[in-house]
Amino acid sequence: MRRLGDLLGVEAMSLYRHVPGREDLLDAVVAAIVDEMQEDPEVIESPRDGWQDFLQRLAHGVRRVALRHPKVFPLVASRPPEAPWLRPPLRDLRWVETFLEALQQEGFSDEAAVSAYRAFTSFLLGHLLLEVSALGADVGPLDVLEDGQDLDTSLAPYPEVGRLRAALSEDHSAVEFEEALEELLNRIALVRSETS
């Protein structure tokens, strides 16, 4: 609060005229991010070419927002949701409604739509949180080391990690996201046809 006050050229105490407290302010930040997803033209674009197309565009939209705000996304992902049916990062009644409608219009049963919503949010959370945290890490890999050690000797007990450390450090987040998303959509399609 004090820092934000400074940033606005005002004393911290003035903020309490406009906002009940720190927690509500953080909630508002999260809400702003969620709104940003809602305004993405790539996601909202009216002609939906099937539910797969819709979920593809939604997933990519959420990913863009996450990458645009790497510092804030963990908040979107982990603030306690307002209700049990709001799962991060799709923690918004409008999104859940749109999501369910879109799938039901294409013949999903109630249970299939709900289970797709669950699988979809788990997927987004895992991939985007990991991607975003890797971004924020900007960790010189030297942080692991004790004072005298170098990387090779400290990795000596772990030959495979040492041998593959280049491969392990590569960033394949974009293609991984794509492939896992593809796979998720296939799984959802399967559940759809099972229960319909």
Site for its own copies in 123-182 (CB under 8 A): 123-127, 129-130, 133-134, 136-137, 139, 141, 143-144, 155, 157-161, 163-165, 167-169, 172, 176, 180
For residues 98 and 116, is the Cβ–Cβ distance under 8 A? no
> CB of 159: closest distance to DNA in angstroms?
36
Q: With left for phi above 0 and alpha for psi between -120 and 50, is residue 50 left, alpha or beta?
A: left
Token pair 């996601």: residue: 43
Of 8 and 144, nearer to its own copies (C-beta) is 144
180 binds, among its own copies, DNA, none (CB under 5 to 8 A by kind): its own copies
> CB of 24: closest distance to its own copies in angstroms?
13
Nearest-Å Rg of the Cα atoms of the chain is 21
Dist. CA 135–CA 71, nearest whole Å: 9
Q: Is 47 in the site for its own copies (CB under 8 A)?
A: no
Of 13 and 137, nearer to DNA (C-beta) is 13
Cβ neighbours around 12 below 10 Å, total: 13
Site for its own copies in 72-131 (CB under 8 A): 74, 77-78, 80-85, 87-88, 93-94, 96-97, 100-101, 104, 110-111, 113-115, 117-119, 121-127, 129-130
Closest CA to 40 of 81, 68, 8: 68
Cβ neighbours around 34 below 10 Å, total: 19
Q: Which amino acid is at 180?
A: A
Token pair 């709104």: residue: 35
- Give the interface with its own copies as residue ranges (CB under 8 A): 74, 77-78, 80-85, 87-88, 93-94, 96-97, 100-101, 104, 110-111, 113-115, 117-119, 121-127, 129-130, 133-134, 136-137, 139, 141, 143-144, 155, 157-161, 163-165, 167-169, 172, 176, 180, 183, 187
